[in-house]
A and B are shown apart, each in its own frame.
Chain A
């Protein structure tokens, strides 16, 4: 079975704090892809990153970084020096080679307070 778990329902931080959003996945496929999306208060889902199962290199994009660890089936997302504009719901998703659709986590609502 395919499953994505985002155990943190809500996180609240103060601006400039670092914050890590956890994502744990389950799949029996050896080829799969992991995604992170951001949904700001405006509601539109914004694609952040796509990573395949053969690439365990960490990714950094500005203040955003992603830590992919196959050994723990995790694909965690860290925001460094958070800003109020980072306030949003963040979704982790899995696409396995045996299925045609994304499997979504329930999302983590991040509030960054000034």
Chain B
């Protein structure tokens, strides 16, 4: 079956512009996670969805970051008024349920803010 997909794979934008990143989880997976990985760094948790609800959004770095999930499936991460420090790889993962279930990752979106 299809894995987690993300689009776009690469995004170059100018400082101050808004960007939207999309994640299509594995079909049937109720949990969805967004992470950020800066160059050579570990994974930084951003937000967790269970269905369409986000019980844990503690990792969103500022109010410029928001995310939504619709239909218990596709999720969109939006970054408003992008800054250069937002440049990173944004990774999406899904799992059958939250908690201890194995997370399966997409290929990521590489964001470069000029």
Interface set of B (CB-CB < 8 Å, partner A): 33, 41-43, 45, 48, 50, 55-56, 89, 91, 93, 98-100, 102-108
Once A91-B43, A100-B98, A104-B43 are accepted as A-B contacts, the answer to whether A44 and B56 lie under 8 Å apart by CB is no
**A-to-B contact residues, CB < 8 Å:** 32-33, 35, 37, 42-47, 50, 52, 91, 95, 97, 99-102, 104-107
Known contacts A33-B100, A47-B102, A97-B99; decide if A106 and B42 are in contact (CB<8 Å).
yes
- Using Cβ atoms and an 8 Å threshold, which residues of chain A touch B45? 101-102, 104
CA distance A47 to B26 in the complex (A): 14
Residues of B within 8 A of A43 (CB): 89, 107-108
Q: Are A100 and B105 in contact (CB under 8 A)?
A: no
Do the beta carbons of A101 and B42 come within 8 Å of each other? no
Complex contact A50–B102 (CB within 8 A): yes
What is the minimal beta-carbon distance from B32 to any residue of chain A, in angstroms?
A: 12
CB of A47 within 8 A of CB of B98, answer no
With the chains together, A54 CA to B100 CA distance in Å?
13
Chain A nearest CB from B77 CB (Å) reads 16
CA distance A92 to B52 in the complex (A): 28
| Chain B residues with CB under 8 A of A105 | 42
